[in-house]
Amino acid sequence: MDLADLRETLGPGQPDYRAKQLYEAIYRGQAPGLARVSTLPAALRQDLAERYSMGLPEIARRYESTDGTRRYLLRLEDGRTVETVLMPEGRRDTICISSQVGCAVDCRFCMTALLGLERNLTAGEIVGQVLVAAREKQAARLNIVMMGQGEPLLNLENVIKPRAFCSTPPVLDYRRAASRFPPPESLRASPISGASRCAPSWPFRSTPPLRRCGSG
């Protein structure tokens, strides 16, 4: 959600600055839950926590290497899983995120190809991987590569849907996202204006939507 979405969620009864407080608490402050957003009044926090959830993936398993690299198996709301890898690199960390559950590109060297394509990840699920890993590591700067499960340009709309965040003040310093196989036809067919300027590497900063409690 961007600021406009948050303003709409909060409703006309709340001043505009409440949306900014919520935005900064979730994405800059990495609040663990809506009830923990201390900059909001207690009654508003309780109301939001009762109606919405953060919608972040759950860490099903965590594997850590001797060099500090962490591999996460993340469980989505529908029970499907994807992998995310966080690699420490001095002043910044690199995170490798997934764009699809499975993959339709039949690369013989890739285990994911054996799964086939189950579905595309939503924009929220894509950036949710980043927030989960960033909270685990307390990382302030992240170099993002989209080389986990799936082919990003076959889920182009959800990969670049949060492009508006590129022009907002940084929440996390998401630098670059790269695709393995940039098929030109995917870019030409995209209904998103300016999509061809976003591949194979482009500034990337995004946020997951809040989930209404009890919704599918």
Each residue's pLDDT tens digit, 26-71: 877 778 889 989 999 999 999 999 998 888 899 999 999 999 899 9
**Cα angle: 197, vertex 205, 209; to 5 degrees:** 120
The sign of the torsion formed by the CA atoms of 4, 18, 216, 61 equals positive
pTM above 0.85, yes or no: no
**Cα angle: 167, vertex 97, 213; to 5 degrees:** 80
Each residue's pLDDT tens digit, 155-175: 988 888 655 443 344 445 444
Q: How confident is the model at residue 113 (pLDDT cuts 50, 70, 90)?
A: confident
